[in-house]
């Protein structure tokens, strides 16, 4: 399988649409050589066995130390089995090298050589081992010899060919992770999710996974560590493994209440995972719950319970349950598959002369000059006049958000006295470096962050103040900011709706859209992807709130997930994103950081998990870090110290930024005058040289399923 996998990858990289020919050549020549050698070696081994046996009897040499050569009847020395095996092994290495070096025509030759050598080895190993050494040592020796087959495949095909294959891809710009091969290397994650209540449940994902044909049992409900006295459906799970990622889903219907927040809880021998998924279930239809968990210690016996989050007794019915484990490798493969198919695209550059003749051997240099995917960080007024900070920021990020400088208490601390000086200077900085910027925020529902003078207003005075705020801010910065967080954290607080009525938020969005119709208006919230334990901001609560506002005519087209994590739960995070994606709105991770409580080393570990999940989800359109640097540090997590020396989180960011860019590539056009590569989406510049002629050009690589073709004339 290792050999076949490498054949498929190398063949795909060299442009072969069908690599089955090479697999067929290997198998045909393997069978051909096995058949021919088997008959020859049966006769030879019979003679060798007789002579060796006589020699052993004469010299009383141990069976475990057979002579190096054997004499046949005509007096000539026979070639011993180890030499045949060694010769075939060395020739097989040549075959693997040919495939790995990707020389034109190499796969045809390499496939024949490898198949030939497998035939020789199989023909030699089994009959000679059994006939030379007899049954006494047969089992041990046979296992040692047969283990030589997968070990050789691993060493030569897996390590050597793989290493050379990576080098070849780095030279020509073809991605090491081919999307087609990636799918076949492991279980493909199912992004399916539902946010509408249905009359009947859908079929289970993964055909149920390890819960296939497993009915739930009724167990006492547990809230925290306390039994409620009620019974609730649960699954008994055996032998859960540390390191595996477990994704589960089920359909739920309730009786005894119009609606209820159903929480999935995992209880192992060592601890209780209070929330690994939620759904806002109803009594008239089936609701879809999707979640997941990763264990920090192995569990021989666990319970996955589905219970009412408020502890009240209701009837819970579940159907189409599924629990699917993924290994770390499979999880990473799925992430890389989405990156290759959604964040990258195939490109073919065609080079010809002015008459349209294709030019083979033209030298090409390609450089990605900007990235399509927005990856940025919060900045504060501390960046103004701080050249080292500015240089550090510009070298890394293509997006920014002002940490506090646009908030109402910063721009109008006293009624009627607006001051945008700091925000203007920060805007000049990002504009000068072509950095896109989010507007954060127009209103903050938390009274603690509302200006003191606003908290003292009521009725018409408050309404006049909020209208003035929108008009002042939006007219001044019209078309400057790509997004606006209109009513920040409205699921946790409702300061304005309490004073202005239930339509206050709807009015905010309508007025903001009229003031700046090109800006994307966001609903920004915390504890949506970070955890499912916060009953105020579960994924279904978020979805329900957006739909309520949309039904009222609100113009909103963006989902902002703050992403302030402590210990991330990657499968839960992905499940929440899947469900939010059913709204069809772009999703941004807007304020990503990791709590300082876990320490700097774990901040780096957890940050990488979050960033990889975000970048590899097809509905996430941008990522913003909440790492504005101040003299005394950052809100929760810094990327560097005060001297801009990387902390662990900074190393993670730098490594991922490098991994997620195409960089500079050099190559030559093929016999068709073309050069192909997979590149990350963004802007590119290309230089082509042929003889004494050169040409420079640029092209854009945007999302698309088809290969992007670009032509250059010399």
Residues 6+ apart with CB under 8 A from 703: 342, 345, 372, 681
Catalytic hit among 403, 405, 412, 489: 489
Q: How far apart are CA 218 and CA 229, in angstroms?
A: 12
b/e per residue, 232-259, with b = 16+ CB within 10 A? Answer: bbbbebeebeeebbbbbbbbbbbeeeee
Residues 6+ apart with CB under 8 A from 163: 100
Residue 489 a catalytic site member: yes
Residues 6+ apart with CB under 8 A from 160: 93, 96, 97, 100
Residues 6+ apart with CB under 8 A from 145: 125, 129
Residue 240 Cα to chain centre, angstroms: 23
In a 3-state reduction of DSSP, which class is residue 310?
coil
Side-chain-side CA neighbours of residue 149 (13 Å) = 16
Residue 291 Cα to chain centre, angstroms: 17
Tokens coding 155? 């060493």
Tokens coding 57? 């009897």
H helix or E strand, kind and range, residue 46: helix 20-59
Cis ω on the peptide bond leading into residue 441 (within 30° of 0)?
yes
Angle value at C-alpha 182, between 179 and 183, nearest 5 degrees: 95
Concatenate the DSSP letters of all residues of 664-710 into one string: EEEEE--TTSEEEEEEESEEEEEEEEETTEEEEEEEEE-S-SSPEEE
Q: Strand pairing of 245-255 and 287-293?
A: antiparallel
Catalytic hit among 330, 591, 608, 613: 591
Q: How far apart are CA 315 and CA 317, in angstroms?
A: 7
Tokens coding 218? 């009724």
Residue 529 Cα to chain centre, angstroms: 16
The answer to whether 351 and 249 have CB atoms below 8 angstroms apart is: no
Concatenate the DSSP letters of all residues of 123-168 into one string: HHHHHHHHHHHTTTTHHHHHHHHHHHHHHHIIIIIIIIIHHHHHHH
Count of H helices and E strands in the chain?
Answer: 19, 26
The answer to whether 287 and 251 have CB atoms below 8 angstroms apart is: yes
Q: How far apart are CA 559 and CA 555, in angstroms?
A: 12
* Cα–Cα separations (whole angstroms), residue 399 to 426, 458, 588, 639, 667: 13, 38, 12, 16, 32
* Cα–Cα separations (whole angstroms), residue 128 to 85, 91, 119, 120, 494: 11, 20, 14, 12, 83
Residue 669 Cα to chain centre, angstroms: 32
CB atoms within 10 A of CB 603: 25
Q: How far apart are CA 106 and CA 112, in angstroms?
A: 10
Residue 479 a catalytic site member: no
- Using only the alpha carbons of the chain, give its radius of gyration: 33
Look at the block and give the residue holding tokens 């309490």.
498
Q: Which residues are catalytic?
A: 489, 591
């Amino acid at each position: 399988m290792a050999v076949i996998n490498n054949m498929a990858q190398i063949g795909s990289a060299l442009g072969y649409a069908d690599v089955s020919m090479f697999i067929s050549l290997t198998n045909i020549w393997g069978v051909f050589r096995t058949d021919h050698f088997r008959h020859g070696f049966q006769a030879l081994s019979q003679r060798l066995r007789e002579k060796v046996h006589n020699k052993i009897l004469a010299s009383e040499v141990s069976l475990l130390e057979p002579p190096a050569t054997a004499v046949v009847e005509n007096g000539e020395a026979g070639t011993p089995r180890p030499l045949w095996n060694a010769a075939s092994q060395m020739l097989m290495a040549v075959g693997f090298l040919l495939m790995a070096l990707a020389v034109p025509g190499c796969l045809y030759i390499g496939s024949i050589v490898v198949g030939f050598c497998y035939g020789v080895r199989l023909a030699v190993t089994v009959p000679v081992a059994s006939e030379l050494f007899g049954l006494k040592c047969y089992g041990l020796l046979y296992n040692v010899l047969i283990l030589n087959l997968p070990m050789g495949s691993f060493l030569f095909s897996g390590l050597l060919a793989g290493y050379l294959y990576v080098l070849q891809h780095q030279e020509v710009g073809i991605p090491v992770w081919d999307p087609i091969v990636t799918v076949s290397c492991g279980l493909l994650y199912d992004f399916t999710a539902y946010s509408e209540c249905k009359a009947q449940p859908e079929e289970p994902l993964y055909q149920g996974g390890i819960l296939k044909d497993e009915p739930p049992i009724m167990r006492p409900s547990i809230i925290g560590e306390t039994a409620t006295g009620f019974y609730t459906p649960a699954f008994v799970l055996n032998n859960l493994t540390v390191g595996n990622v477990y994704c589960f889903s089920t359909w739920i219907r309730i009786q005894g209440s119009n609606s209820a927040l159903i929480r999935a809880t995992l209880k192992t021998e060592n601890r209780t995972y209070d929330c690994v998924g939620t759904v806002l279930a109803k009594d008239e239809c089936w609701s879809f719950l999707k979640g997941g968990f990763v264990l920090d210690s192995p569990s021989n016996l666990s319970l996955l319970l589905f219970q009412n989050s408020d502890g009240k007794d209701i009837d819970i019915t579940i159907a189409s349950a599924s629990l699917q484990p993924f290994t770390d490798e499979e999880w990473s493969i799925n992430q890389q598959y989405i990156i290759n198919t959604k964040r990258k695209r195939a490109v073919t550059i065609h080079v010809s002369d002015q008459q349209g003749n294709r030019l083979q051997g033209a030298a090409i240099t390609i450089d990605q000059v900007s990235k399509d995917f927005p990856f940025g960080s919060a900045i504060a007024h501390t960046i103004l006049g701080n050249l080292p900070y500015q240089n550090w920021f510009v070298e890394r990020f293509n997006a920014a958000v002002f940490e506090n400088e646009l908030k109402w208490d910063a721009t109008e601390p006293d009624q009627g006295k607006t001051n945008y000086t700091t925000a203007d200077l920060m805007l000049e900085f990002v504009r000068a470096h072509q950095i896109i910027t989010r507007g954060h925020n127009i209103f903050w529902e938390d009274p603690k962050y509302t200006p003191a003078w606003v908290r003292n207003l009521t009725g018409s005075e408050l309404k006049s103040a909020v209208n003035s705020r929108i008009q002042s801010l939006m007219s001044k910065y019209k078309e400057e900011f790509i997004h606006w967080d209109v009513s920040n954290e409205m699921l946790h607080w409702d300061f304005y709706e309490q004073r202005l009525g239930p339509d206050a938020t709807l009015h905010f969005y309508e007025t903001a859209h009229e003031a700046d119709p090109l800006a994307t208006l966001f609903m920004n919230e915390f504890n949506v992807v970070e955890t499912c334990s916060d009953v105020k901001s579960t994924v279904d609560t978020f979805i329900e709130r957006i739909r309520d506002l949309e039904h009222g005519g609100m113009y909103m087209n963006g989902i902002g997930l703050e992403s302030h994590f402590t210990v991330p739960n990657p499968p839960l995070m992905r499940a929440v994103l899947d469900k939010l994606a059913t709204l069809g709105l772009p999703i941004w991770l807007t304020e990503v950081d990791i709590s300082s409580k876990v320490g700097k080393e774990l901040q780096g570990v957890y940050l990488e998990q979050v960033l990889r999940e975000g970048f590899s989800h097809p509905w996430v359109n941008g990522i913003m870090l909440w790492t504005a640097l101040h003299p005394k540090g950052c809100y929760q997590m810094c990327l560097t110290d005060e001297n801009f020396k990387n902390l662990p989180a900074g190393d993670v960011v730098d490594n991922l930024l490098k991994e997620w860019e195409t960089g500079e590539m050099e190559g030559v056009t093929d016999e068709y005058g073309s050069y192909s590569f997979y590149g990350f989406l963004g802007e590119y510049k290309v230089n082509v040289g042929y003889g004494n002629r050169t040409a420079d050009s640029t092209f854009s690589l945007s999302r698309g399923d088809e290969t992007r073709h670009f032509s250059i004339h010399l």
